[in-house]
A and B are shown apart, each in its own frame.
Chain A
């Protein structure tokens, strides 16, 4: 097994630079998710690691060995593609054993490894079928089986769940997590779905426009986003954000509504400073229906009108009018609310985030 290191990695297509010199250390046996909106360069980065795209600048090391100029076959990696990329003219068993056949392994050896992988992924009864006779979920499992059989140093996943329906996606996600626990291999996983990234990975790399915005554990990127972009990208529903001006110990929003400056930022702001204020739906709730007590002195209460509610059973998303916009709040132990009803809301300001309005960088409190 092997660590993967990216140094000042650059990808250019002609004059267009799409990956701008990113640095990343993936530890041995770590599960890393590259996440970001489409066009952020995450797939390109993965494909450079795989050797399917040329590196325009910088270096890639796998297991301490520079692999820039090595073809994919010499990198000892496995890749699971979004489209599965199975060989349609081969049976499931042949698909899974193909890399071993190419490597010149004996038929017995191949069969043993294929059977082992098939047992892990519950594919035993499908081994003689062709990909065209399989469902989407089954194809995905075969693609994973093909990756496992190779026993690579590094597993690469390129949006492997995007072609599956919601229910299957959750199932296969769990299987991938189990697989990581079992294989003890380095895994790099590309997705645009932050839930997948959060649930699967040891660390998340959030990318945007060919740059890395933040690298951190799921808790870190959720609780301490370094930029406004990360704050908005991670978390569902997304963080409520709006611009405000510091005035007289308070934050003044465009419509004139005011919130106290969150206590931990008290010393860090100057009058007239423009900031972006952010607060997650979890940290706004109808008073008495929240999760955390947090710092009770930092909870600010205000009466706000309800626009609409989205009951989810165990909780209800309540949309409230604040500063002329709909802000989302999360109501635990929900009680029925009517649209237009004025409700006393608690804002847990100890968990508020402030970002510089120009750079988008998080302000330290």
Chain B
């Protein structure tokens, strides 16, 4: 009968709090705590040994970690910029289409409908040096007579991953930028034509400032996506060859499950999350500034 003493609002909110606590707050606190222990999945008793910041010190002084960190930032930078340029191009082209624009929009989104794991398998097959489609095509066209070791050479493997990543997600940019183009008032563009702008100047000074907020929204979404890139890499190279495509989360996944060092992996994960937070804050600042610039009312 103690429950009766709780007021109605508290009582009504309680289920939500309980669920949130059970599925988010408790696991979060637990994983955070475990990052201060030498917890190994194979030795449950290690969960109760508190080692303070030792895991964090190990992580931050681990060269492999920083290489994976740097490579993730590289992937993020190259993939996002490429996707943005391609997405922008696609959006501008589709926007020009007078017929079948809906159909084009749907087709444009196809890559987003595939599971990243399947995309990984597909590109793994395409870039296979012996039986892959890419080498076959290059050789048939007479561009090369060698079998290019796409997934075996470290640099080429990274490029292959970037291509797969770009293929699967350019549509995010294209769709959001197209939404911007469709929402954009036509008059300022016409005013720019009358004011003497060439098509390029019109784009540079009028259209692009309008589209920037949309590009930054796509950037934010995609930076979170790419910062936790795992599936495509896991399938295509599994971090190889010789760790040349190891990213933060493939490293963390390996540490957590292959090496069973859960405490260490959690410490890495908390450092990695900082990366996502930094990028999100950065893009949100840019977004706010861009929105303010165009006087957006949303």
Q: Do A and B come from one complex?
A: yes
- Residue ranges of A at the interface with B (Cβ–Cβ < 8 Å): 50-52, 71-73, 77-79, 81, 83-89, 98-99, 102-103, 130-132, 146, 150, 156
B contact residues around A87 at 8 Å (CB): 188, 191-192, 205-206, 209
Q: Which residues from B are CB-within-8-Å of A84?
A: 187
Report the Cα distance A98→B206, complex, angstroms. 11
How far does the alpha carbon of A21 sit from the alpha carbon of B25 in the complex, in Å? Answer: 74
Q: Given the complex of chains A and B, what is the CA–CA distance between A86 and B205 in angstroms?
A: 12
Which residue, B188, B191, B193, has most C-beta atoms of chain A within 10 A?
B191
**When the two chains form their complex, are residues B195 and A99 in contact, meaning their CB atoms are under 8 A apart?**
yes
Contact A77 B188 (CB under 8 A): no
Bound-state Cα–Cα, A81 to B187, Å: 7
Once the chains bind, are A73 and B194 in contact (CB under 8 Å)? Answer: yes
Say yes or no for B201: interface residue by CB 8 A criterion: yes
Residues on B with beta carbons closer than 8 Å to the beta carbon of A130:
295
Say how far B97's CB is from chain A's closest CB, in angstroms: 17
Take A87-B206, A88-B294, A130-B295 as given contacts and tell me if A102 and B191 are in contact as well, using a CB distance cutoff of 8 Å.
no
Contact of A150 among B195, B210, B293 (CB under 8 A): B195
Report whether B193 and A52 are in contact in the complex, using a CB–CB cutoff of 8 Å. yes
Contacts of B191 in A (CB 8 A): 79, 81, 85-87, 146
Contact B196 A73 (CB under 8 A): yes
What 14 new A-B contacts, CB under 8 Å, besides A81-B190, A132-B295? A50-B194, A52-B194, A73-B198, A81-B187, A85-B187, A86-B191, A87-B191, A88-B293, A88-B294, A89-B210, A89-B295, A98-B205, A102-B201, A102-B205
The 9 residue pairs across chains A and B that have the minimum distance between CB atoms: A132-B295, A85-B187, A99-B195, A85-B191, A72-B193, A73-B196, A89-B293, A88-B295, A89-B209
Query: Please, which residue of chain B has its CB at the minimum distance from the CB of A78?
Result: B194
When the two chains form their complex, are residues B188 and A85 in contact, meaning their CB atoms are under 8 A apart?
A: yes
A88/B188 in contact, CB under 8 A: yes
A–B pairs, 26, beta carbons within 8 Å: A50-B190, A51-B194, A52-B190, A71-B193, A72-B190, A73-B193, A73-B196, A73-B198, A78-B194, A81-B187, A81-B190, A83-B185, A85-B190, A85-B191, A87-B188, A87-B206, A87-B209, A88-B294, A88-B295, A89-B209, A98-B192, A98-B195, A99-B195, A99-B196, A130-B295, A131-B295
B152 close to chain A: CB less than 8 A: no
In the bound complex, residues from chain A placing their C-beta under 8 Å from that of B197 are 73, 102
- A-chain residues with CB within 8 Å of residue B210 when the two chains form the complex: 89
When C-beta atoms are compared, the residue in chain A nearest to B212 turns out to be: A89
- By a CB distance below 8 angstroms, the chain B residues around A102 are 195-197, 201, 205
What residue in chain B is nearest A86 (Cβ atoms)?
A: B188
Mark out the residues of chain B between 185 and 226 whose CB falls within 8 Å of any chain A CB in the assembled complex.
Answer: 185, 187-188, 190-198, 201, 205-206, 209-210
B160 CB to closest chain A CB, in angstroms?
Answer: 39
> Which residue from A72, A86, A103 sits with its C-beta under 8 Å from B194?
A72
Distance, CA A79 to CA B190, complexed state (A): 9
Question: What residue of chain B has the Cβ atom nearest to residue A94's Cβ?
Answer: B205
**CB–CB A103/B196 < 8 A:** yes
**Nearest-CB residue, chain A, relative to B186:** A85
> How distant is the Cα of A132 from the Cα of B193 in the complex, in angstroms?
22
Interface residues of B: mostly helix, strand, loop or mixed? helix
- Chain B interface residues (CB < 8 Å from chain A): 185, 187-188, 190-198, 201, 205-206, 209-210, 293-295
Rounded to whole Å, the gap between the CB of A103 and the closest CB of chain B is 6
User: Most A CB atoms within 10 A — which of B210, B293, B295?
Assistant: B295
CB of A120, distance to nearest CB on chain B (Å):
19
Write out the residue numbers on chain A whose beta carbons fall within 8 Å of the beta carbon of B196.
73, 99, 102-103, 150
Residues of chain A lying within 8 A (CB to CB) of residue B294: 88-89
B296 to chain A, nearest CB (A): 8
Q: How far is A84 from B210 in the complex, measured between Cα atoms in Å?
A: 17
The residues of A that contact B188 with a CB separation of less than 8 Å are 85-88
Residues of A within 8 A of B201 (CB): 102
How near does chain A come to B98, taking the closest CB pair, in angstroms? 11
Q: How far is the CA of A73 from the CA of B190 in the complex (A)?
A: 10
- Give the chain A neighbours of B187 by CB distance below 8 A: 81, 83-85
**In the complex, A83 Cα to B187 Cα: how many Å?**
7
Nearest-CB residue, chain B, relative to A98: B195
Assembly CA distance A258 to B96 (angstroms): 63
Complexed CA–CA distance, A77 and B185 (Å): 21
Question: Closest CB of chain B to A139's CB: distance in Å?
Answer: 11
Q: A180 to nearest B CB, angstroms?
A: 19
The smallest C-beta distance from B186 to any residue of chain A, in angstroms, reads 9
Q: Roughly how many angstroms separate A72 CA and B195 CA in the complex, as a whole number?
A: 8
How far apart sit A259 and B198, CA to CA, in the bound complex (Å)? 64
Contacts of B209 in A (CB 8 A): 87, 89
* A51 surroundings in chain B (CB, below 8 A): 193-194
Q: Shortest distance in angstroms between A243's beta carbon and chain B's nearest beta carbon?
A: 44
Q: Which partner residue on chain B sits nearest A102 by CB separation?
A: B196
Taking the closest CB of chain B, its distance from the CB of A293, in whole angstroms, is 51
Of all chain A residues, which has the CB nearest B189? A85
Provide the bound-state CA to CA distance between A86 and B187, in Å.
Answer: 8
**A103 to B198, alpha carbons, bound, how many Å?**
11
Whole-angstrom distance between the Cβ of B213 and the nearest chain A Cβ: 11
CB B70 to nearest CB in A, in angstroms, measures 35
Bound-state Cα–Cα, A86 to B197, Å: 14
| Complex contacts, A86 vs chain B, CB 8 Å | 188, 191
Report chain B residues within 8 Å CB of A72: 190, 193-194
B residues less than 8 Å from A71 (CB atoms): 193
- When distances are taken between beta carbons in the complex, the residues of chain A under 8 Å from B195 are 73, 98-99, 102, 146, 150
CB distance from B187 to the nearest CB of A (A): 3
Contacts of B198 in A (CB 8 A): 73
Tell me the minimal C-beta distance from A258 to chain B in angstroms: 55
> Which residue of chain B has its CB nearest to the CB of A87?
B188
A331 to chain B, nearest CB (A): 45
The smallest C-beta distance from A100 to any residue of chain B, in angstroms, reads 9
